[in-house]
């Protein structure tokens, strides 16, 4: 049996690890070059994410993730533009974390490096299209000329999934009309002094009444061994930002982000001004619309490729949960591969879209 996975973000490598460990032939394809590091920021993982990592990874790699995680904050705080805390959701450590999973904050670059350890990745291979074969298998074509046949093609190619577009052309992903510019600022003493306390002790969201908000969170490596930083995201209604944001260079994006919060306390714009311009990116907030289960075939999907959701701190853990569940259904199957995939899809669609729904409730 051979399984092809497209997308080496989070879910893709975790599934590859789990299948590889079970002795199943797996090929992982990624459009980015091996030395391209466009995916660096702090992410918080729900306990489901911790459990998923634990179930698929060899113990040394899992332990490495714990050892390189960020200092744990006390929770999430919502602030008004005058930086008064208006609401807080504290997340105290639980005694039973070993059983039920722990909340983790991780540096995405570090996590990916660990997830990609010990597995081969075909870098620089962008998925182009697939073809269903008469024998029930699937043939996948890549932009670099690579062609590969498999029993199962797994889409882990994120929000703009090209595989979803071909396999489920009716699946809809909606732009919520919110533009985001994000980046990282090295956590020097000067930056620490500029950073609101709430962002040094967990995740913080400064929300205006006009649709603007800024998320801020420090990432301090718990081991003391890493380059600590503050991650920031400045978001505003798309109608209030220049239409050609995607065509702008990183310095221009940085300037726009500062301009968007120019009437907020000066230290916030200063955090953006001091950012490493290379880390600055822009995106738009998107959410997937629930869809009925399709006829299971030799193509399936995981993570943002199927249930992308607006940022509410759960999408990465849900993507990892998909990988762990699909891995388990395949490796522990007693029937056909198709039945195992069907069982995975049924369960994943249920909790995945429940999380999408929950993320939407978090902003209303």
Ligand X SMILES: Cc1cc2nc3c(=O)[nH]c(=O)nc-3n(C[C@H](O)[C@H](O)[C@H](O)COP(=O)(O)OP(=O)(O)OC[C@H]3O[C@@H](n4cnc5c(N)ncnc54)[C@H](O)[C@@H]3O)c2cc1C
Contacts with ligand X, residue ranges (CB under 6 A): 6-12, 29-32, 41, 43-44, 126-127, 156-158, 162, 182, 233, 283, 303-305, 311, 313-317, 319
* Shortest separation between residue 183's beta carbon and ligand X, angstroms: 9
Q: Residues near 147 by Cβ (< 8 Å), separated by ≥ 6? A: 139, 140, 141
* Bridge partner residues of 204 (DSSP): 77, 216
Would you tell me how many other CB atoms lie within 10 Å of the CB of residue 243? 9
Long-range contacts of the stretch 211-218 (C-beta < 8 A, 24+): 211/178, 211/236, 211/237, 211/240, 212/236, 212/237, 212/240, 212/260, 212/261, 214/261, 214/264, 214/268, 215/311, 216/268, 216/271, 217/42, 217/44, 217/73, 217/105, 218/187, 218/192
Would you say 263 or 276 has its CB closer to ligand X?
276
Region label for 298, one of left (φ > 0), alpha (ψ between -120 and 50) or beta (otherwise): alpha
Would you say 234 or 330 has its CB closer to ligand X?
234
* Shortest separation between residue 231's beta carbon and ligand X, angstroms: 7
* Shortest separation between residue 207's beta carbon and ligand X, angstroms: 17
* Bridge partner residues of 237 (DSSP): 178
**Size of the chain in residues:** 364
* Shortest separation between residue 128's beta carbon and ligand X, angstroms: 8
Would you say 64 or 123 has its CB closer to ligand X?
123
Would you say 30 or 228 has its CB closer to ligand X?
30
Would you say 41 or 130 has its CB closer to ligand X?
41
Would you say 7 or 81 has its CB closer to ligand X?
7
Would you say 101 or 158 has its CB closer to ligand X?
158
Q: Are strands 147-150 and 138-142 parallel, antiparallel or unpaired?
A: antiparallel
Relative orientation angle of helices 59-67 and 47-56, to the nearest 10 degrees: 140
* Shortest separation between residue 243's beta carbon and ligand X, angstroms: 20
Tokens, residue 329: 């259904």
Tokens, residue 297: 């075939």
* Shortest separation between residue 216's beta carbon and ligand X, angstroms: 12
Would you say 68 or 315 has its CB closer to ligand X?
315
Q: Which residue is nearest to ligand X (CB)?
A: 9
Q: Which among 136, 128, 181, 133 is positioned nearest to 157, based on CA atoms?
A: 128
Q: Residues near 113 by Cβ (< 8 Å), separated by ≥ 6? A: none
* Shortest separation between residue 230's beta carbon and ligand X, angstroms: 12
d(CA 125, CA 132): 20
* Shortest separation between residue 336's beta carbon and ligand X, angstroms: 26
């Amino acid at each position: 049996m051979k399984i092809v996975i497209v997308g080496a973000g989070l879910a893709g490598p975790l599934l590859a690890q789990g299948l590889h460990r079970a002795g199943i032939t797996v090929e992982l394809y990624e459009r980015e070059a091996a030395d391209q590091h466009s995916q660096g920021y702090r992410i918080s993982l729900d306990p489901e994410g911790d459990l998923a990592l634990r179930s698929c990874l060899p113990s040394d790699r899992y332990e490495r993730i714990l050892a390189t995680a960020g200092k744990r904050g006390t929770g999430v705080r919502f602030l008004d533009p005058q930086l008064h805390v208006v609401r807080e959701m504290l997340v105290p450590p639980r005694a039973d974390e070993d059983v039920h999973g722990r909340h983790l904050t991780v540096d995405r670059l570090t996590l990916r490096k660990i997830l990609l350890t010990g597995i081969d990745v075909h870098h620089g291979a962008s998925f182009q299209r697939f073809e269903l074969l008469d024998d029930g298998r699937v043939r996948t074509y890549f932009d670099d000329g690579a062609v590969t046949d498999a029993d199962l093609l797994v889409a882990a190619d994120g929000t703009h999934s090209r595989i979803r577009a071909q396999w489920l052309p009716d699946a809809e992903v909606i732009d919520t009309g919110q533009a985001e510019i994000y980046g990282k600022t090295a956590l020097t003493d000067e930056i620490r002094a500029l950073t609101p306390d709430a962002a040094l002790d967990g995740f913080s969201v400064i929300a205006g009444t006009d649709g603007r908000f800024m998320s801020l969170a420090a990432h301090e490596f718990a081991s003391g061994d890493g380059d600590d930083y503050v991650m920031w995201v400045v978001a505003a209604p798309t109608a209030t930002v220049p239409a050609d944001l995607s065509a702008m260079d990183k310095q221009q994006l940085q300037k726009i982000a500062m301009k968007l919060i120019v009437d907020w306390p000066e230290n916030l714009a200063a955090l953006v001004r001091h950012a490493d311009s290379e880390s600055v990116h822009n995106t738009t907030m998107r959410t997937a619309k629930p869809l009925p289960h399709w006829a299971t075939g030799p193509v399936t999907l995981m993570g943002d490729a199927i249930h992308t959701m607006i940022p509410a701190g759960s999408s990465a853990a849900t993507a990892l949960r998909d990988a762990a569940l699909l891995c388990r259904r395949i490796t522990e199957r007693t029937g056909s591969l198709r039945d195992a995939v069907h069982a995975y899809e049924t369960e994943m669609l249920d909790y995945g879209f429940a999380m999408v729904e929950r993320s939407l409730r978090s902003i209303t």
